[in-house]
Structure formats: C-alpha cells, structure tokens
Amino acid sequence: MSSADPNYTDANYKEERRNKRPYLFYSATRALCSKCLLVCDAKELVEDGKVYLWKRCLQHGPERVLLSDDVDYFKLCREVYLKPPEQVEQYNTGVKYGCPYDCGICPDHEQHGCVSLVEVTDHCNLRCPTCFASSGPERQTVRSMEQIEAMLDRVVANEGTAEVVQISGGEPTTHPQFFDILDACRQRPIKHLMVNTNGLRIAREQGFAERLAQYQPGFEIYLQFDGLTDEITQDLRGADLTEIKYKAIERLNEVGLSTTLVATLKRDVNDHAIGQIIEFAAKQPAVRGVTLQPIHDSGRNEDFNPDANRFPLSEVRRRLVEQFPTFTAADVLPVPCNPDSIAMAYALRGEGDEHSTLTPLTRYIPPEVLLDAGGNTIVYEGDKPLLGAAMKQIFETFSTSHGPEGAGNALRDLLCCLPQVEAMPNLGYERVFRIIIMAFLDKHTLDLRSVRKSCVHVPSRDGSKMIPLDTYNIFYRDEPERQHLQQLRQITTTGLRKTQTYGAV
C-alpha cells in the first residue's frame, strides 16, 4: 500500500513494514482542500522518485497530488535557486483572514509582480474548451477606459516602473478602444508591453499588424499557439485554427513585430508537440521564444481530469529536452524569484541564414550569478568574474549584429528577476531566443509556501489592489468565486466547520 491509498493509516504500515513509512518526509506546509477550498495541513513527501503534496482536509479527507517527477530538480528549486524576495512598492490589504483569503498584495506576500496582467474584457471571439478566464462570445462585459486607467495606475503604484505589463482578457483586441488602451500604457512607466492574443484579428485584418508594430520597441505579441495540427487546436480551442495561426505569424514576420508563441500543454493532446513548436518558432524571424504552460484546473476546463491531464513543470522540462535535444536539462533552469513555478532556457540565434540555429546559453550561467542580489546586473567584463569564460566566448562570437533594442534588456526583458547582461553593445533582442515554462497553481497544487512567491499579479477591476493570478483564478475572478470566498472567510473567523477523524492510528 502507498500513501496514495485513501485507506492508508499508520496501522497499515505497522502491519506491513513495522513503523517504517514508504516515503521520505520532506516538509510540512498548508494547502487547499480541492473540494471545499479551506486551508488544511499538508506534507511534501518523496516517494518512488517523485514528490507529492499530501493533504488532509478535516471534512473531505486526504488527497495526494503529484508536484514533481524529478526529485533532483525539485531540490534544486527548493535549496539552490533562491534569492531574497523583491517587494512591491505598496501593500494593498492587511492580514486579516490569513493566506490565501487576504489578497492582495498583503504584507505576507514574498514577491513583487514580475508580470502585471491587465484584463480589459471578458469577451472573446473564440470559446476555448480550455480558458482560465471562462471567456467567450456570449460574454459582453468590457472594462471602461476609466477602469482600465485605474488598473494601470494600480500597477504603477505597486511596481513603480513596471517591468512587464500584459494586456489580456478575454481577447483584448476585441475591445472597442483597444488602441486607446495601448496609448494609455505608453503614457505610463512600463518597460515592456505585451498583448496576449489568439491572433484572429492579426490574421484577418489587413493593416492591423502594421499598426501594432508602431508600438515597438518594448512591445511584443504573446500569441496563443498550441501546436501545428487542427486536432490540437480542436481539443484546446474548439476550432480548426492552424491556418489562421500561420497567417498571423506571416503578418508578424512581415512587419518584424517581436512575438512569443504561447502553448497550453495538455497530456495526450499536445505534450508530444513541444519539440515541433520550438523548431517551428526558431524558424520565424519575428518570434523571440516559446512559453509552455502546462494546463491547470481553473475557469472553463471541459473534460479535465486532474490525474490524467495534468503534468508537472518537471515533466515538461524533461519532455522538452527529449523532443528538442539542442537543449539539455542543464539549460533549463529554475527562475530564482519563483522557482516552483517558472523555469527558463536562453539561446542565441545565428545570423542571416543561420537564424534558426540556436546555441544554448543558460548552461553557462552558474547559480551564483543568477542569484547575485547585488545590483542584479551581470557586467560582462569587469566586476563580475563569475560570468564564465565559455559564455564570454559565445557573446564575442555572436556579438556582431545591430538590433533595435538594447542588449542590456535581452536576458532581463521578460523576467525582471534575471540579471541584466551588459557590455554586449552589438547583440540585439532579435538574437535572443527564450523558452519559459510557466506552471500556474490551481486548487489542487496551491500551497501557502509557493503561492506567496507568485509573481504574475492582476489588478482588481476597481484598481484598488493587485492579486496573484493563482489566487485570482480560484477566489477573486467572478461573482461565484467571490461569494465562496466570503463563506470561507466567515468559516475562518468563526471556526465553524464540519470535521471528521481520518487515519487514526
């Protein structure tokens, strides 16, 4: 019997193994019961080379959730790739009900918003079976310009100069004042502005990509792209979209508009296609990288089976290097501000006809360089000798092109917690190729240790606060979630909850 068995008790183990449990106890934490969303005690257990979150709700009993299938990588995240948390400029709430019922950002949170996600509409021109915002054509609510300005002001109040703002939805390009929103962003201190889009308007509307390209530099399209076949887009998006995605990318290439391809990964649907997506992306002149997001259980998630469909970040990392062996595991590193949820790999592109040739870089960055909290900047020559000779040689080999954006932005542009790499004056943004794995927490995986590091923050609709995306999806997005939160807060303050006794020894 393993700890997965709901009937597991210490008594079983006494019979079978005389006081020895079949796992290593790694740590204790607090997590959410996926049924009632109340906080419950939890443990992290290492068993058969995997790491599990083992929870016990006093009302609904035990649950076991796979956190990682790679113990070594798990320990790398937990024990090596850590750095002092960078804080927001302002906290927006106090601590009253306890995490995660106080968002946010409350003083107990441990990371500022590396990415601020501003949702400007609930409407969408698709109705994907998988949509954490539950958007669709039937939803007609759009935020007013007044609301959006207040949301952007909240981002700036919390972040000062915001590193990355993503305009999102629903489908943001359907907002009737879409370009006014981009103009409002441009009037504020935002270093890098992105538009999260399904690409339909870019593909269908002549001149739309050209108009978007005028917002460069410091502007990028974050394009939904789940794979190269209609079978994949049918499953995840409910429509045959391959041709329209190709058309959108063709237009983005024509106008040279920096683009990241963003794939939602679902087991047995497109987990085999990671290598194909990266190979395709590397051939596109405008594409700067790929973001891989393993599916999480939020919003509309038709036919989602948490056991069968989910797969953890560690498995995405492993499948990536199996399917695209240009990268090795040593190239895909935890991002120190939020290592549980984000991993990255950087490569340099070749020049001219060699544009699709990728030379991985991250393997040459020792952890102490990434974790250097000092100025958070790598100076290529001079006072940071930790930058290895091999990396220096690569930069020298490749630093011959002239790009539109400063080299100092290249590594740091989308993950502000990374160091800047300076003194590569001729290496432009178009020479950098970036792979990010971003695994959001859901009601199954959320624990109170990791959620405090959540670094994608969402302004509330009234602009009064920023809320981590992971908790926003569970508790704060729409009216049903907010009503449930009120009940949870009440239970938390009154202590009134149903209990049963489980697993008595």
Shortest reach from residue 446's CB to ligand SF4, in Å? 9
Q: Does 199 bind ligand SF4 (CB under 6 A)?
A: no
Number of residues that bind ligand SF4 (CB under 6 A): 27
Question: Side chain identity at 420, as an amino acid letter?
Answer: Q
Least gap, CB of 490 to ligand SF4 (angstroms): 17
Measure the CA–CA gap between 178 and 259, rounded to whole angstroms.
18
The dihedral region occupied by 207, where left means phi > 0, alpha psi between -120 and 50, and beta the remainder, is left
> From CA 426, how far away is CA 394, in angstroms rounded?
13
Would you say 68 or 135 has its CB closer to ligand SF4? 135
Q: For ligand SF4, give the closer residue by CB, 100 or 312.
A: 100
Query: Which of 103, 436 has the CB closer to ligand SF4?
Result: 103
Q: Give the nearer residue to ligand SF4 in terms of CB position, either 13 or 91.
A: 91
* 69 is a contact residue toward ligand SF4 (CB under 6 A): no
Reading the block at residue 219, the tokens are 């502007």
Nearest CB to ligand SF4, comparing residues 157 and 369 = 157
Q: Which is nearer to ligand SF4, 213 or 474 (CB)?
A: 474
Q: Is 93 helix (H, G, I), strand (E, B) or coil?
A: coil
Listed in order, strand segments (DSSP E) in 244-286 are: 259-265
Closest CB to ligand SF4 among 230 and 372?
230
Q: Which two tokens stand for residue 375?
A: 């100025």
Distance CA(378)–CA(431), nearest Å, equals 18
Query: Looking at beta carbons only, is 172 or 306 nearer to ligand SF4?
Result: 172
Cα(492)–Cα(220) distance, rounded to whole angstroms? 43
Query: Going along 69-199, which residue ranges are E strands?
Result: 115-119, 130-131, 162-168, 190-197
Is 451 an interacting residue with respect to ligand SF4 (CB under 6 A)? yes
Collapsing DSSP to helix, strand or coil, 405 comes out as coil
Q: In sequence order, what are the residues at sequence separation of 6 or more whose Cβ sits closer than 8 angstroms to the Cβ of residue 489?
A: 97, 101
Among residues 40 and 365, whose Cβ is nearest to ligand SF4? 40
CA distances from 159 to 18, 194, 389, 406 (A): 54, 16, 35, 22
Q: Which residue has the tokens 């320990």?
A: 75
Report the 10 Å Cβ neighbour count for 382.
10
d(CA 41, CA 25): 14
Per-residue contact flags (x/-) with ligand SF4 for residues 401 to 440, judged by CB under 6 A:
----------------------------------------
Q: Which two tokens stand for residue 231?
A: 């079978």
Contact pick of 34, 158, 198, 291 for ligand SF4 (by CB under 6 A) = 198
Q: 32, 33, 114, 133: which one contacts ligand SF4 (CB under 6 A)?
A: 133
Report yes or no: 356 and 282 within 8 Å, Cβ to Cβ.
Answer: yes
* C-beta closer to ligand SF4: residue 198 or 260: 198
> What is the closest distance, in whole angstroms, from the C-beta atom of residue 15 to ligand SF4 in the complex?
41
247 interacts with ligand SF4 by CB under 6 A: no
Least gap, CB of 454 to ligand SF4 (angstroms) = 6
Which of 69, 70, 119, 171 forms a contact with ligand SF4 (CB under 6 A)? Answer: 171
Site string for ligand SF4, 211-230 (x = CB under 6 A): -------------x------
Q: Which of residues 459-488 bind ligand SF4 (CB under 6 A)?
A: 468, 471
Shortest distance (Å) from residue 23 CB to ligand SF4:
28
Residues 71-130 interacting with ligand SF4 (rule: CB under 6 A): 99-100, 102-106, 108-109, 124, 126-128
Q: Is 139 in the site for ligand SF4 (CB under 6 A)?
A: no
* Nearer to ligand SF4 among residue 106 and residue 421 (C-beta): 106
* DSSP track, 465-492: -EEEHHHIIIIISSHHHHHHHHHHHHHH
Looking at residue 356, what DSSP letter applies? T
22 phi, psi to nearest 5 deg: -90, 20
Displacement of CA 21 from its chain's centroid (Å): 35
164 token code pair: 């990355």
Closest-CA residue to 451 (of 162, 37, 6): 37
Output 324 or 440, the one with its CB closest to ligand SF4. 440
Strand partners, 46: 24, 51
Binding footprint of ligand SF4 on the chain (CB under 6 A): 99-100, 102-106, 108-109, 124, 126-128, 131, 133, 135-136, 169-171, 198, 224, 237, 451-452, 468, 471
